[in-house]
Amino acid sequence: MTAPLVLGIESSCDETGVGLVRGNELLADSIASSVDEHARFGGVVPEVASRAHLEAIVPAVRRALDGAGMSLGQVDAFAVTAGPGLAGALLVGVCTAKAYALATGKPLYGVNHLAAHIAVDQLEHGVLPVPAVALLVSGGHSSLLLVQELTGDIAALGATIDDAAGEAYDKVARLLGLPFPGGPPIDAAAASGDPQCVQFPRAKYRDGTFDFSFSGLKTAVARWVEAREAAGLAVPVAHVSASFQEAVADVLTRKAVDACLAHGVDHLVISGGVAANSRLRALAAQRCENAGVKLRMPRPGLCTDNGAMVAALGADLLAAGADPSPADFATDSGLPVTQVLASH
């Protein structure tokens, strides 16, 4: 029997994503991004993002269906990000998904964006063995999670107490004169820099918690750059990028591996936009191997926000026999990761 065809819609931030998934097979992944419209503000402007979603969402659904050679009538179920995310942006996706579900008479699952970031890995690496630890690092979140069951039992082990890792990348890029979003240009600049050039602080490195803090690191980079400029010296962007990136990757991978060891878990999933980072990927691979932990990381294109991740989680929920969300379920910009499925 073929698995049901699930269409997933993501609109929680600045990416309008539509994915089509059958079981663990990715059939189409269509993305439209409003990132260029936010670049001059150095961060995502919620209202600009909402309007961009409105324009992009129906064409993205069409492109995904066309790309997979499918018609709307062949879709067995819909999934959409219900939260967390930007309130207005979420509304566009949820209202659109409700309209498709109502028009076709098919079930709709309102899902948690963070759980979807974990679920997407299954499209590449197959069913996630549980329990597993997940490190989610994006522009809005930096969390360590204990996954007992992807469709319903996820516990938070720790999270950032201030800036998210991606936010730190974006802020540091700005003060180095690099474009927004800052992750990719810092990653590229770091390739020719010396990660040991500046010893930036590793906050909460040995504090015994699974929490993170990145705002002090961002300030340390700002102070270092200011001192350099005050002395009339050029700022070595590649060295600063590499040193900053090393500090972020060091803390993230150390705590992630520690979380696995502390909970007797031998699978680690790393996902979210920052998981596209080359140094994080390399250091995580090395430290997991040393610790006997099996590392799973989606390819960079699936780490950043996309619709396939939402479809992947929807497919899991369907397979697990979960009830669809009620027709009047609401968006929740602060949806906790413990709530995988929006139920009201």
Give the span between the Cα atoms of 3 and 26, in whole angstroms. 12
**Is residue 19 near ligand KG4 by the rule CB under 6 A?**
no
State which of residues 10, 163, 170, 211 lies at the interface with ligand KG4 (CB under 6 A): 170
Size of the site for ligand KG4 (CB under 6 A): 19
23/273 with CB nearer ligand KG4: 273
Give me the amino acid identity at 53: H
Between 85 and 236, CB nearer to Zn ion: 85
Q: Give the shortest CB-128-to-Zn ion separation in angstroms.
A: 18
- φ/ψ of 87, rounded to 5, equals -55, -50
Q: Which residues from 253-292 bind ligand KG4, rule CB under 6 A?
A: 272-274, 276-277
Amino acid of residue 128 = L
Query: Binding to ligand KG4 (CB under 6 A): which residues in 295-314?
Result: 304-305
**Which of ligand KG4, Zn ion, none lies near 110, with the C-beta cut-off 5 to 8 A by kind?**
none
Between the alpha carbon of residue 69 and those of residues 24, 62, 72, the distances in Å are: 18, 10, 10
Can residue 183 be called a binding residue for ligand KG4 (CB under 6 A)?
A: yes
Judged by beta carbon distances under 5 to 8 A according to partner kind, the member of Zn ion, ligand KG4, none in contact with residue 183 is ligand KG4
| Cα(92)–Cα(9) distance, integer angstroms | 10
Q: How far apart are CA 114 and CA 230, in angstroms?
A: 42
Q: Which of 167, 305, 316, 332 binds Zn ion (CB under 5 A)?
A: 305
Residue 324 touching ligand KG4 (CB under 6 A): no
Interface residue with ligand KG4 among 8, 83, 110, 139 (CB under 6 A) is 139
- The contact pattern for ligand KG4, residues 148-167, with x = CB under 6 A and - = no contact, is ------------------x-
Please tell me the distance from the alpha carbon of residue 185 to that of residue 160, in angstroms, as a whole number. Answer: 23
Q: Does 138 interact with ligand KG4 (rule: CB under 6 A)? A: yes
Q: Which two tokens stand for residue 277?
A: 């980072």
Residue 247 CB, shortest distance to ligand KG4, in Å, is 13
Q: Starting at the earlier edge strand, list the strands of the sheet with 267-271.
A: 153-159, 142-149, 132-137, 267-271, 294-296
Residue type, 130: V
- Residue 169 as a binder of ligand KG4 (CB under 6 A): the answer is yes
Dist CA 233 CA 252 (whole Å)? 31
DSSP assignment string, 313-327: HHHHHHHTTPPPPPT
In sequence order, the 6+-apart residues with CB closer than 8 A to the CB of 343 are 325, 326, 329
- Residue 21 near which of ligand KG4, Zn ion, none (CB within 5-8 Å, type-dependent): none
Instruction: Catalog residues that contact ligand KG4 under the rule CB under 6 A.
Output: 13, 138-140, 166, 169-170, 181-184, 187, 272-274, 276-277, 304-305
Instruction: Catalog residues that contact Zn ion under the rule CB under 5 A.
Output: 138, 305
